[in-house]
Amino acid sequence: MDKKRRNFLRLFSLGVLGFLTYGAFKNLTSLSSPPPKKVIVLFEEIEKAKDILFKENFIVMKTGSNFKVFSRKCPHLGCLLNYSPEEALIVCPCHQSKFNLSGKFLSGPAKKDLTTYNYRLNSQGLEVEVF
């Protein structure tokens, strides 16, 4: 009887350990971020927007023949940023964080610069890697 109880406890302990290990590995795999999504922005679209283009998830800035692409999410709490033409600044409508047109933090609760996205030029426009 004692041997059956010991075998039961051993199997039960292994089952619990296996369940906990599975849960830990499952959580670790969900922590890895998905690969970036590639979005094409046509040159005509950028020209029509007068050198600053606000897309759903990012901002495209054109200065001369150079481009900068930033996340449109405020680094403070993730609100979608807007452009203030009067101030010539990127502004968060939620808590009034302000950024210059190079994505540098100027004021407000954000405390960080805007996240820069990688892009590649192709024959049609910009291929932006959005996270």
Domain tally for the chain?
A: 2
Q: Is the pLDDT of residue 1 over 60?
A: no
Same structural domain, 69 and 7: no
Using a cut of 0.75, tell me whether the model's pTM lies above it.
Answer: no
What CATH number is given to the structural domain containing 105?
Answer: 2.102.10.10
Q: Average the pLDDT over 46-62 and give the result.
A: 90
Domain range for 122: 37-130
Q: Return phi, psi of residue 30, to 5°.
A: -75, -15
Same structural domain, 49 and 1: no
Q: Around Cβ 34, how many Cβ atoms within 10 Å?
A: 6
Q: pLDDT at position 35, please?
A: 79
Q: Mind listing the pLDDT tens digit for each residue in 21-52?
A: 776 666 665 566 677 788 999 989 988 988 89
Secondary structure of 97-131 as H, E, C letters: CEECCCCCEEECCCCCCCCECCEEECCCEEEEEEC
Q: Mind listing the pLDDT tens digit for each residue in 69-123?
A: 999 999 999 999 999 999 999 999 999 999 999 999 999 999 999 999 999 999 9
Q: Mind listing the pLDDT tens digit for each residue in 109-122?
A: 999 999 999 999 99
Same structural domain, 59 and 114: yes
